[in-house]
Amino acid sequence: MKLQRQSDKVLVEASIKKLIETEFAGLKGSPNFKFDWSLEKHSDVYKIFLLSDVDEVLGLVSVLDDPEFKRIHIDLVKSSVANQGKNKQYDFIAGCQIAFAVSLTYEYGYNGFVSLDPKLKLVDLYKKKYGFEEFGYQMISQGENSKLLVDKYLLSHEEE
């Protein structure tokens, strides 16, 4: 997968890896993430980082396997402080994290079914940018949209 460095629009190689137990302590009180990620230990938490700098966590995503409904639920997705807003260092972080969660659905046999509980101010963003649909109080991606997310952010990574 690739992220886009905003200063020169160059695509750089990135990867996602599951956090290990000892990494949670390093995130607590971190100025890069204004959230206590140890609260997400009930989920699988994955970090996104550049291959050229494996120590800098650019974003985190917490996902829950929900076999009863045959889906992956995205509990929380966040970019580091330096990668939020108009002046962010890298783009495509959230897209790659969402697409990664979708890719897990194929591994688990859920065929692209992913859900999340959006903040109200992000509903339009999830619809327009990522193709999610409203489904009650949640938003979902499935079928063709999920395939498109994986293709766009994990495989071909066309520029937006």
Query: Which value, in Å, is the radius of gyration of the alpha carbons in the chain?
Result: 15
Is residue 157's pLDDT more than 90?
Answer: no
Lowest-pLDDT range, 26-30, 80-84, 129-133? 26-30
How would residue 159 be classed by pLDDT, with cut points 50, 70 and 90?
very low
pLDDT value of residue 134: 95
How would residue 54 be classed by pLDDT, with cut points 50, 70 and 90?
confident
Q: What is the mean pLDDT of residues 66-71?
A: 96
Instruction: Give the E-state strand segments of the chain in sequence order.
Output: 2-5, 11-18, 44-50, 59-66, 71-79, 90-91, 114-116, 133-135, 138-141
pTM equals 0.93
pLDDT value of residue 48: 97
How would residue 84 be classed by pLDDT, with cut points 50, 70 and 90?
very high
- 150: Cβ contacts below 8 Å, ≥ 6 apart: 99, 102, 103, 106
DSSP 3-state assignment of 41?
A: coil
Q: What is the mean pLDDT of residues 47-69?
A: 95
> Any idea which residue has 């997705």 for tokens?
77
CA distance 35 to 125: 22
pLDDT value of residue 160: 44
